Structure 1
Amino acid sequence: MLPLRLRPTALLLAAALTAPAAAADRPVLRVSAIPDEAPTELQRKFQPLGEYLARQLGVEVKFQPVTDYAATVEALAGGRLDLVWYGGFTFVQARRRTGTALPLVQREEDAHFHSKFITRAGSGIRTLQDLRGKTLAFGSESSTSGHLMPRYDLLQAGLDPDKDLARYAFTGAHDATVKWVEQGKVDAGALNESVWNKLVEEKKVDPAKVVVFHTTPDFHDYNWTVRGDLDPKLVQQLKAAFLALDPAKPEQKAILDLQRTKRFVETRPENYLKIEEAAKSAGLIR
């Protein structure tokens, strides 16, 4: 791939980003996100944020959808992605895979995140113990809030999903988990609280028919992560752009609303040690 010929003021970005094959005026920041929601929803949420980052950094920003969680880890490790929206567990996997993946910012809510267990009203399921012998839907196998932390919570309650449930399955996405429960494919499901709240607010689920019966203890979850070999000055520019988003400015408030937050805050690798330990306890990593 041919390097761009850039003016001296753009040398920093040239060292940090990969240029497109065709001649262009600006380098490209390649961004992706774990596919925990429908691809169209991920694109809709990212578009105005991508436009904002392009203006702030003076680069072209391209969103590259992926087919599964593992693909984001391998693409970041292989230098094919620069910035990824990760769940906590996938960040842990990326950090272990690369040794240098760096979490920049998280939404304020992500420092105290939860998973929700849901069931149909009238199912008789009121506690985690009531799941014994029942069927359960998780989201993606690599999801923090859709699998890892709910599984860990079950184990802490003395329930082994592999032994004590009649069956469990992976739906692939949080909104799909709600549909499975709603349609009676499973007795209960576990999902991201943010997606649950959004579906309730948008009246895409009736909380009188599908009810929350358990909420996990809090944990650090989603973050924006960069590959570790980006130029440190560019990393700081990215972080500053996220932290500068201001809900008092209508255009930026619209971006924050799509991200389902009022502001981004700094985060660091140490915040995800609890998730790493939970993954080890659940047998998902060694």
Structure 2
Amino acid sequence: MLTVHAPWSRIEPLDKKAHTANRSLKITGKDLAAGFMAFGLLTCGDVSLEVETDDSTLVGEHDSEEDQRVLLRLGVSAHKDPQRTYRSSQPLVDYLNAHTPYRVEFRIGRSSESSELAPTAQDLVTFIEERLVEIAPLGVLSYCLADDRFGALALVRHRNRDGEALDRSVFLVPAASDMRALSDLSGRSLALGPSHSTLGHLVPRYELALASVEPGTVENLESESAIVEAIKSGAFDAGVAPEYLIDETALEGLRALHVSSPIASRPMVVRRDLPEPVRASLLEALLSFRGEASGVTGSASEFSHGFVQGAPTDYDVVCKMLDTIEASCSQGCHEAGD
């Protein structure tokens, strides 16, 4: 039996011209069958053909007639508004296409014909694990889970609107509320984000535990917009939202009661076994990206402030938070999230 291997693990950055010269890397079963049929006739023997692809460090396919560069796939969690996700992420995709030797696309579904967005953060972790995407932004808890499961690497971290690579949780109350400090939340109703959210759930729970504050009713809502509306409607005395997701125009009638201590901002994640030349090229491009300042048009709300390089110790404080809050939470409710 003849086995043909595609040496993806040895891939290096290529410019378009050089890559065109190496198009032999894409060999279809039909092409091979025709070639080896002739070989079989010449040798008067039977040829059994098996085509294997060593995908231990699979990067992508050459499936575009117009652009023969190696394909890299960017994963994004769709949340509740896929169109908004596309609009906010497309400028970064355009920039990476222009500033790396690779063709970067949203290619997140399970087939080469799909351009689906990952429905949830948990799905996005699975997509990275199964090599359906090469790079993706993850929440801190999602990153910790991914690193534990298959060896993820925080390549870069997001900058916030102030240029810091930090994230915070904001406790919100009605502007007319009599509460003035975190301690005033004792016995009051509080809306948190999903239980798997770093900034919507874990960080605020840690802040409350640190201050020995026990709210009365605590519920988890699905999004920051739902939390804001719940506070405005009077359904809850207070709520918590990630600072980077807060839309100032939507906060009319509300004010910040307490802002958490900062944690390292959300990472852009790759697998540790992604080939080093690919990783280096992505890192260089991401560190130079500055949204509109990089010549990219359109809204890039999540990525528009650029990135700083990540480090293995960036998220040690999150592990401390998990150890601090009750064991039942650290053992189950923070599997993967924003």
Bucket of the pairwise TM-score, normalised by the shorter protein: 0.7 to 0.9
Report deviation, 1:211. Answer: 0.9
Task: Name structure 2 gaps, 5 residues minimum.
Answer: 9-18, 26-54, 109-116, 332-338
Q: 1:19-41 CA distances to partner (integer Å, 9 max, x unpaired)? A: 27787834432222345673332
Aligned with residue 18 of structure 1, among 49, 55, 60: 60
Q: What's 1:52 paired with?
A: 95
1:32-111 to structure 2, matched below 5 A, reads: 32-34=75-77, 38-57=81-100, 58-62=102-106, 64=108, 65-98=117-150, 100-109=151-160, 111=165
**Corresponding residue of 2:179:** 125
- Deviation of 1:168 after TM superposition, in Å, equals 2.0
Q: Secondary structure at the match of 1:32?
A: coil
Letter of the 2:190 counterpart: L
Letter in 2 for 1:123: S
Asked if 1:174 is matched to 2:224, the reply is: yes
Do the aligned residues in 2 keep the contact of 1:105 with 1:223 (CA within 8 Å)?
A: yes
More helix, by proportion: 1
2:200 maps to 146
Specify the alignment match of 1:205 in structure 2. 251
Residues in 1 aligned to 2:127 and 2:276: alpha-carbon distance in whole angstroms = 20
SS of the residue corresponding to residue 264 of structure 2 reads coil
The C-alpha deviation readout for 1:178-217, integer Å capped at 9, x for no partner, is: 2222222322111111222xx11xx2331xx111100111
The one-letter code matched in structure 2 to 1:97 is R
* Partner deviation per Cα, 1:152-183 (whole Å, 9 max, x = no partner): 10110113xxxx33322222222332222222
The offset of 1:104, in angstroms, is: 0.9
Which moves more between the two structures, 242-251 or 270-279?
A: 242-251
Counterpart code for 1:170 = N
Q: Which entry has the higher C-alpha Rg, 1 or 2?
A: 2
Q: Structure 1 250/264 Cα, relative in aligned 2: closer, same or farther at 3 Å?
A: closer
Gaps of 5+ in 1: none
In 1: Cα distance, 2:298 partner to 2:270 partner: 20
Q: 1:218 aligns with which of 262, 265, 277?
A: 262
1:18 alignment partner AA: G
| Higher alpha-carbon deviation: 82-91 or 165-174 | 165-174
- RMSD, matched Cα: 3.0
Any idea what SS the aligned residue of 1:125 has? coil
1:279 aligns with 2:322: yes
Give CA deviations for 1:222-281 in whole Å, capped at 9, x if unaligned: 1111122211110111111111225684624x5796336543211112110101221232
What count of residue pairs does the alignment treat as equivalent? 271
Taking a change above 3 Å as real, the CA distance of residues 47 and 56 of structure 1, as seen in their structure-2 partners, is: same
Percent sequence identity over aligned pairs: 23
Cα 1:75/1:280, change in 2 over 3 Å: farther
The correspondence for 1:245, drawn from 272, 289, 293, is: 289
Q: Which moved more, 1:127-136 or 1:17-26?
A: 17-26
* 2:95/2:289 contact within 8 Å kept: no
